[in-house]
Amino acid sequence: MKIRLENICKYYGKVKANDKISFTIEPNSIHGILGENGAGKSTLMKILAGFTPKTSGKIFINGQMVNYNTPTKALELGIGMLYQDPQDFAGLTVLENFLLGLKTSWKIKEYEYTVKLTNLCQQLGFKLQPEAYLKDLTVGERQQLEIVRLLALGVEVLILDEPSTGISTQQKQILFTALKRLAKQGKSILLVSHKLEDITELCDQVTVLSNGQVTGEFMAPLDTEQLLECMFGQKLKQIINSGSIFPQPKNKSTPLVQVRDICSDHGRIRLKNCSLSIYPGEIIGIAGLENSGQELFLRILAGLVRPQKGTITINGKNLTEKNNRTFLQNHIHFIPTNRLEEGLFADLTLLEHYLLVFQQSFWLKSKSAYKLCLQKIEDLKIKGLPNTPAKALSGGNQQRLLLSLLPRQAKLLILEHPTRGLDVESALWVWQYLQKCYGLKASIVFSSPELDEIFQVAHKVIVFYNGQILLSKKISDTTPEEVGNAIAGKVEHA
Amino acid sequence: MLKSYYSLINKWLIALVCVVAVTSILLLFAHTPPLTTYKLLLKGSLSSRAKLARVFQVWVPLMLCSCGLLFTFSMKLWNIGIEGQVMLGAIGATASLMWISPHFAPWMCLILSLGIAFILGALWGFGSGLLKTSGGVNEIFGGLGLNFVAQGLILWLIFGPWKRPGIASMSGTKPFDVSLWLPHIHRFPVLGMLLALIIFILTAILLSSTRQGLKFKALGINPKAGKLYGLSPTANTLIAMTLAGGCAGLCGFFQVTGVYHRLIPAISSNYGYLSLLVVMLANYKWWPIPFISFFFACLNVGSIQLPLILKIDSSLSGVIQGICVLVFIWVKQLSVFERADDT
C-alpha cells in the first residue's frame, strides 16, 4: 500500500505539533521517522493511526484520498499501530488475547485459531506458546503477539513506536528480521525512533522531523552525520556555551554523593551500571530522550526506588538500603516533573502545605504558618492566597510552591525537568531563584530535554541512552554537537 | 458568596424533594399511603420521651462508628471491616465483664471493659490495615473477611464456652447483673451519650487542628507526594485503621453494657454499615455527623412499629437511608452545581 501525506498540520492552541508535513510511504519498504523529543513524531503517528484528528492536510492511500478519525476506521483501511506500551490483557492467555481483537463467530473454534496463530508466528520466526499467560511474557514477546494480531486483522501498513525500547538484544534481532521479512512480503513498515542505530540498520528510507517540520529525507545507505545534522540542525549551533549561571564550585573536594554501578530493572526501563559523583555546589544536567533511564535514575538517587545492584553513599555514609526518609534526613530533596500528580496535594491549600512540611509539632500552629505562608507567597511571587488549593494554581505557580517547600538546609536537590511547561521568563526565574538560595550551598542534579537549558545552567552534563550513561563531561570540555550525538546513541571514541 | 449559599440551599432542596419523591413512589407501589407512613415515622421516634430515649440508644453507636470512619475516610480507605471491629469490641467487653466482675467494684469493671473493648476493636482494625500494607489486600476485602471471622467467633462463643448454663441459644449469653449495666437516666443512655460526645469532640479536634489529621488528609489526597516529604503512607494507614477500630470497639462496648447487657449474635445491629452511609451523607466532614446520626436513628426507631400498623416491613428505614445517600451523591455530582461552586 502506498500512502501519501500532504501538508499534515496539527495545532494545539498556538503550538504547532505538526506543521505542513508531506512525504510518501512506499510499499515493500521500511520507512523511518527520526526526531528528538517533541519533534512531532508521536503526533504524526497518532494522526495516521486514527487516534488524533488532524487540523488540516490530506492523506492518500493508493492515490485515493481518505478521511478517518478512529483507530477502527484506520484498521479497516489496513493501518495498524504497535504502541510503546502493549495494549493487551495481562490476565489472559496468548490465544485469548489473539482472539479478542479478531472478528470471530460467537462460538469460537479454538483449534482453528491456534493453527492460525502458530502459522503466523512461524512465518515471522516468533516462538509464542498459545496457552501461556501474558503476565509471564516479556515485553518483547507481547510485542510479537501484538504484531501477529495486527497482521491477522489484515494490516498492510504497520506503525511501530520505539519498538526496541526495553527489549533484549536477542528479541530485537528477531523483531528486525521479522520486519524485514514483512517488508519483502509487500507490507509497509513505519518505524518511529530516536535511535540512530535502529534506523540505519533497518530503514530503506528516512524522514527526519524537527520542531514539527520535515527537515530531511534520505534513502539507504544512510549517513549518520547527515541524519544528526538534520535532527538537531540549527538548534545545536544556536546554543552558546557561555558557562553556567551558577558559580563554579571550589576545586575538587570530596564528593557529596557517590553513586556506583547502579543496576535496576523497572518495567521497560533498565539501568545498567550507572555511576556518578556529585561534588558540593556542583550543578549536573542530565540529557537524554524520554525513557532512556534518567527518570528512574533520579528516583533512585532520591531514595524513592531501591536499586537492584550498586551503592549510594552520601558523605561517606552508605544509604543504599535505606528508605527515602533517611535520604531526606541527609538533606536530599526531589521535585518530580508531574507536579500535581507526584509533588503536591491537589486539594490542600497553600497554608496546609506549609503546615504539613514545616511544622513537626502535634498541634497545628496556624498563626505562625500563616505568617510563613504570606512570606513565601511574597518571596516567590506565588499568585495565590493562603487558602487557595494547589490545583487552582497555574503550572508556573505550582512549581514556585514546590520550590518554596524545599528547606534552606538542602544539600542535594534532584529536579526532574524543573521548567516543564514554563514560559521563558518563568524558567529563567526558577534558575535565578535556585542560584540565589542554593548557589554553592547545595548541589543540583536536574534532567531536561532542552540542551540549551543544560548548557546555560549546568557545570557538568551526563547523557542517558538506553539505560546507560553514555557521556559524562564538564560543560567546558564538550560541545552541543557532541551531546546531541550522544543523545541519539552515537559517541566518538577518542 | 450569596450565590454559593443559594446553590447550597438549592442542592439540599433538590436532594430532599428527590428523596421524598422516590420513597413515596416506592410506598405507593406497596399500596401504602406515604403521608401516613411519614407521620408514623415521626410519631414513632419523637412523640414521647421513651421513644426519644430509644433514638439516642441508636444515636450513640452510630456516632461512635462514624467518628472511627472519619479517620479512615480521610485517608480514602474503605473500612468495611468496621462491623467486625464492633463485634470484637463487644467480645472484649463481655469477656472482661465476665472474668473480672467477681473481683472488682462494678464501676471499675465497666471502665476496664471499655478499655479492653477499645483495644480489641483497634487490633481488629490494625489487622485489616496490616493485610493491606504488608500483603496488598484491599481493605475492603480484608475487612469483609475479618467481619466473617468476627461473626463466627461470636457464634462460637455463644454456643460454646460462653453458653448459658444448661442451654445454648441465639438469645445470647447469660445477662449480666444489673450493677454492670451502663446506668440510664429516665431511660436515656446518658453515659453512652457522653462517651459519644467526647469521642466526637476528640475526633473533630484531631482531624481539624493536629498534624496527624492533616497527615491523614494529605496522604488521602496523594500518597506519592507524601513520601517526598517523609510521610509514611504505610504507618498512617495503620494508625487510621487502628483508631477506627478502637472507636468501633467502643460501640461494641456500648451495645453490650448499655443496650443488650449480654453478648448476642447480632450485637453490631449493622450499625457499622449504617455508619458508612452516615459519613457518606455527611460528605466525609465531621460537623454534620451528630445530626445525620440523629436523623438515621429516628428513622430506625420510627420504623419499628410500621409492620404492626401499616403491615409494611420495618426495613423501610433502610430503604430511605439508602435512597438519601444515593440521591445525595447524585446531586453532589450534578455538574450545574459544580460550576456554581467554583465561582
Q: What is the mean pLDDT of residues B276-282?
A: 92
User: Which of A329, A346, A357 faces B222 most closely, judged by CB atoms?
Assistant: A346
Is A345 close to B227, i.e. CB distance below 8 A? no
Residue A62 burial (C-beta neighbours within 10 Å; 0-12, 13-18, 19+): exposed
- Residue that wins the pLDDT comparison between A401 and A449: A401
Residue of B nearest to A329 (CA): B230
Alpha helices in A16-107 (DSSP H): 41-48, 71-76, 94-101
- Tell me the range of A193-207, A317-331, A419-433 where mean pLDDT is highest: A317-331
| pLDDT exceeds 60 at position B341 | no
Q: What amino acid occupies position A325?
A: R
Instruction: List pLDDT tens digits, range A362-387.
Output: 999 989 999 999 999 999 989 889 99
Tell me, yes or no, whether B99 lies in a domain: yes
Q: Which residues make Cβ contacts (< 8 Å) with residue B290, sequence separation at least 6?
A: B59, B63, B200
Secondary structure element (H or E) that encloses residue A349, with its range: none
- Residues of A at the B interface (Cβ-Cβ below 8 Å)? 304, 324-325, 328-329, 333-336, 341-348, 352, 355-357, 359-364, 366, 405
Q: Which triple of cell numbers denotes residue B15?
A: 436532594
Instruction: List pLDDT tens digits, range A76-134.
Output: 899 999 877 777 888 889 988 888 877 777 777 888 889 989 999 998 889 888 888 98
User: What are A15's strand-pairing partners?
Assistant: A12
B275 in the Ramachandran plot: left (φ > 0), alpha (ψ -120 to 50) or beta? alpha
Q: What is the mean pLDDT of residues B204-208?
A: 95
User: Which of A325, A335, A364 faces B210 most closely, judged by CB atoms?
Assistant: A364
Residue of A nearest to B221 (CA): A345
Q: Which residue has the cell 450565590?
A: B3
Instruction: List pLDDT tens digits, range B222-233.
Output: 999 999 999 999
Is B222 close to A324, i.e. CB distance below 8 A? no
Q: What is the pLDDT of residue B340?
A: 40
Q: Which residues make Cβ contacts (< 8 Å) with residue A110, sequence separation at least 6?
A: A95
DSSP labels, B260-319: ISS--TTTTTTHHHHHHHHHHHTTT-STTHHHHHHHHHHHHHHGGGHHHHH---TTHHHH
Q: What amino acid occupies position A333?
A: H
Cis previous bond, A221, omega within 30 = yes
Q: What is the pLDDT of residue B147?
A: 96
Q: What is the mean pLDDT of residues B134-152?
A: 94
Integer Cα distance of A346 and A340 in angstroms = 6
Integer Cα distance of A375 and A383 in angstroms = 13
Using an 8 Å CB-CB cutoff, list chain A residues near B210.
362-364
Q: What is the pLDDT of residue A237?
A: 67
Q: What amino acid occupies position B58?
A: V
Tell me, yes or no, whether B34 lies in a domain: no
Buried b (16+ CB within 10 A) or exposed e, B253-262: bbbbbbbbbb
Q: Which residues make Cβ contacts (< 8 Å) with residue B342, sequence separation at least 6?
A: none
Contact by Cβ (8 Å): A430, A418: yes
Q: What is the pLDDT of residue A371?
A: 94
Is A347 close to B211, i.e. CB distance below 8 A? no
Percent of chain B with pLDDT over 90: 64
Tell me, yes or no, whether B13 lies in a domain: no
| pLDDT exceeds 80 at position A14 | no
Q: What is the pLDDT of residue B123?
A: 97
Is A345 close to B218, i.e. CB distance below 8 A? yes
Tell me, yes or no, whether B276 lies in a domain: no
| pLDDT exceeds 70 at position A240 | no
Q: Which triple of cell numbers denotes residue A382?
A: 506565588
Q: What is the pLDDT of residue A195?
A: 80
Using an 8 Å CB-CB cutoff, list chain A residues near B231.
356
Distance from CA of B221 to the nearest CA of A (A): 6
pLDDT bracket for residue B167 (50, 70, 90): confident
User: What are A266's strand-pairing partners?
Assistant: A269
Integer Cα distance of A285 and B5 in angstroms = 51
Q: What is the pLDDT of residue A241?
A: 66
Distance from CA of A336 to the nearest CA of B (A): 9
Q: Which triple of cell numbers denotes residue A269?
A: 526501563
Please report, in angstroms and rounded to a whole number, the separation of the first and last CA atoms in chain B: 8
Is A343 close to B225, i.e. CB distance below 8 A? yes
- Residues of B at the A interface (Cβ-Cβ below 8 Å)? 209-215, 217-218, 221-222, 224-232
Using an 8 Å CB-CB cutoff, list chain B residues near A346.
221-222
Secondary structure element (H or E) that encloses residue A119, with its range: helix A110-124
| Beta-carbon count within 10 A of A374 CB | 15
Give every strand in the sheet of A468-474, ordered side by side.
A332-335, A412-416, A443-447, A283-287, A460-465, A468-474
Residue of A nearest to B222 (CA): A345
Is A355 close to B232, i.e. CB distance below 8 A? no
Integer Cα distance of A281 and A439 in angstroms = 7
User: Which of B210, B221, B232 faces A348 most closely, judged by CB atoms?
Assistant: B221
Please give the radius of gyration of chain A, using alpha carbons only, rounded to the nearest integer: 25
Q: What is the pLDDT of residue A236?
A: 67
Secondary structure element (H or E) that encloses residue B68, with its range: helix B49-74
Q: What amino acid occupies position A41?
A: K
pLDDT bracket for residue B1 (50, 70, 90): low
Domain interval for residue B243? 53-271
| pLDDT exceeds 90 at position B200 | yes
Instruction: List pLDDT tens digits, range A451-478.
Output: 888 988 999 999 998 889 999 999 888 8
Task: Name the average pLDDT for chain A.
Answer: 88
Contact by Cβ (8 Å): A33, A16: no
Contact by Cβ (8 Å): B82, B271: no
User: Which of A325, A346, A362 faces B230 most closely, judged by CB atoms?
Assistant: A325
Tell me, yes or no, whether B323 lies in a domain: no
Percent of chain A with pLDDT over 70: 97
Tell me, yes or no, whether B265 lies in a domain: yes
Q: Which triple of cell numbers denotes residue B335?
A: 455538574
Integer Cα distance of B216 and B201 in angstroms = 17
Residue B56 burial (C-beta neighbours within 10 Å; 0-12, 13-18, 19+): buried
Contact by Cβ (8 Å): B271, B278: no
Q: How many cross-chain Cβ pairs, A to B, lie less than 8 Å apart? A: 64
Q: What amino acid occupies position B338?
A: E
User: In a mutagenesis test of the B interface, which of A298, A339, A364, A416 is the best target, namely the one with the most B β-carbons within 10 Å?
Assistant: A364
Residues in chain B: 343
Give every strand in the sheet of A309-314, ordered side by side.
A269-278, A257-266, A309-314, A317-318
Tell me, yes or no, whether B261 lies in a domain: yes
Integer Cα distance of A269 and A288 in angstroms = 13
pLDDT bracket for residue B53 (50, 70, 90): very high
Question: What's the sign of the alpha-carbon dihedral B252, B257, B263, B264?
Answer: negative
Instruction: List pLDDT tens digits, range B317-329.
Output: 788 888 878 887 7
Is B228 close to A342, i.e. CB distance below 8 A? yes
Contact by Cβ (8 Å): A23, A40: no
Instruction: List pLDDT tens digits, range B219-266.
Output: 999 999 999 999 999 999 999 999 999 999 999 999 999 999 999 999
Tell me, yes or no, whether B29 lies in a domain: no
Contact by Cβ (8 Å): A56, A206: no
Is A356 close to B232, i.e. CB distance below 8 A? no
Residue of A nearest to B230 (CA): A325
- Residue that wins the pLDDT comparison between A409 and A139: A409
| pLDDT exceeds 70 at position B24 | yes
pTM for the structure as a whole: 0.82
* Residue A156: closest CA among A70, A69, A76: A76
Secondary structure element (H or E) that encloses residue B206, with its range: helix B190-209
Distance from CA of A452 to the nearest CA of B (A): 29
| Beta-carbon count within 10 A of B104 CB | 12
Instruction: List pLDDT tens digits, range A283-334.
Output: 999 998 877 889 999 999 999 999 999 999 998 889 988 888 999 999 999 9
DSSP labels, A55-74: SEEEEEETTEEE---SHHHH
Using an 8 Å CB-CB cutoff, list chain B residues near A366.
209
Q: What is the mean pLDDT of residues B45-59?
A: 93
Instruction: List pLDDT tens digits, range B105-128.
Output: 999 999 999 999 999 999 999 999
Number of domains in chain B: 1
Using an 8 Å CB-CB cutoff, list chain B residues near A359.
211
Integer Cα distance of B122 and A445 in angstroms = 45
Q: What is the pLDDT of residue B342?
A: 38
